[in-house]
Amino acid sequence: MDYQSAGVNIDAGNDTVRRIRALARSTFTAGVMSDIGSFGGLFRLDTTRFQEPVLVSSADGVGTKLKVAFLAGRHDTVGVDLVNHCVNDILVQGAEPLFFLDYLSTGRLLPTVAESVVGGMASACRDNGCALLGGETAEMPGFYADGEYDLAGFIVGAVERTKLINGRTIAVGDVLVGVPSSGLHTNGYSLARRIVFEQLGLDVDSYVSELGRSVGDALLEPHRSYLSPLRPILEGGRVKGMAHITGGGITDNLPRALPHGTTAIVDASSWEVPALFRWLQQSGEVPTADMMRTFNMGIGLVIVTARDHAEQVREQLAARGSRDARVIGEVVAGEPPAVSYVNLE
């Protein structure tokens, strides 16, 4: 016996590295000091940009959205999802990304699929000014179903200590500005898949008139990055706190940004819930409270700012492509930090 007969193809691994090397190099920034293939990635922090830099890190995955990618045979968007999710997670603390690493594991390594996945990561890294510094590709026969893989991402960014956003200055009377999402992002797919593929019996190519496109196209819409529209607002110092609306929806994520002694009231009628969420709720007969705690419901990021700054924040977001950003609620006194909804149908 040899390693290949046990299910691990070293040649396929080498071919994968060859394919993704140029993709990773295309993301390299001035701080990168190593090449793909090193045991560890080297990155030099530009200390001229910061007087007192704080490093901010995060790790996440794509979840069962991958199942939709498998069904569609489309692997170029999940890498975008992974990078943008991680970028947003550190952005809410004021950090800009420095470098990103990935972990791709599969039962049988297909170099073309790995190339497509990493190509999505590289594209998102370039868009966010973030270096794809390295990663791991693992072939694990017997661990995953044929044709399936899993993804995880790890990001490191930096922020000036005086510009760190930690929510401590949030006060009663501040308002909540909601920034639109681009779809489900990377959360709620276990429920969405059950509704779409099990209850309705649709497939990824099924056209849904309410959505104006196929199920696959709607569910694979990439997770949006908020770095570009937020940059000028962060420089102005008008952001007191932010919440990335991921698993748990507004219900569970917004309280993470609030200090003790405060709570939030969200007006659920202040924005139009996108058709995809309305269709899923109606098709699955999902209670509204469950929808709000499972999906982002069209709001991917919530910014907490002073009431006097809200219109300026909204205008700056509109100038950077987020025209539908709007005030969706306010901060009130209360304990512990939580979310209460008004006008929730």
Residue 103, SS3?
strand
Q: List, in order of start, the domains of the chain with CATH numbers.
A: 10-163 (3.30.1330.10), 175-342 (3.90.650.10)
pLDDT at 254: 98
Tokens standing for residue 61: 């995955």
pLDDT tens digits, one per residue of 218-268:
999 999 999 999 998 998 889 999 999 999 999 999 999 999 999 999 999
**Which band of pLDDT confidence, cut at 50, 70 and 90, is reported for residue 290?**
very high
pLDDT tens digits, one per residue of 309-344:
999 999 999 988 888 999 999 999 999 999 999 998
What is the mean pLDDT of the segment spanning 26-46?
Answer: 94
Q: Are strands 339-342 and 262-267 parallel, antiparallel or unpaired?
A: parallel
Residue 271, SS3?
coil
Q: What is the pTM of this model?
A: 0.96
- From the CB of residue 193, how many other CB atoms can be counted at a distance below 10 Å? 18
| Higher pLDDT pick, 3 / 104 | 104
**Which band of pLDDT confidence, cut at 50, 70 and 90, is reported for residue 37?**
confident
Q: In angstroms, how far is CA 304 from the centroid of its own chain?
A: 19
Give Cα separations from 91 to 120, 239, 287 (angstroms): 20, 11, 31
What distance in Å separates the CA atoms of residue 170 and residue 337, rounded to the nearest whole number? Answer: 12
What is the mean pLDDT of the segment spanning 133-156?
Answer: 94
pLDDT at 320: 86
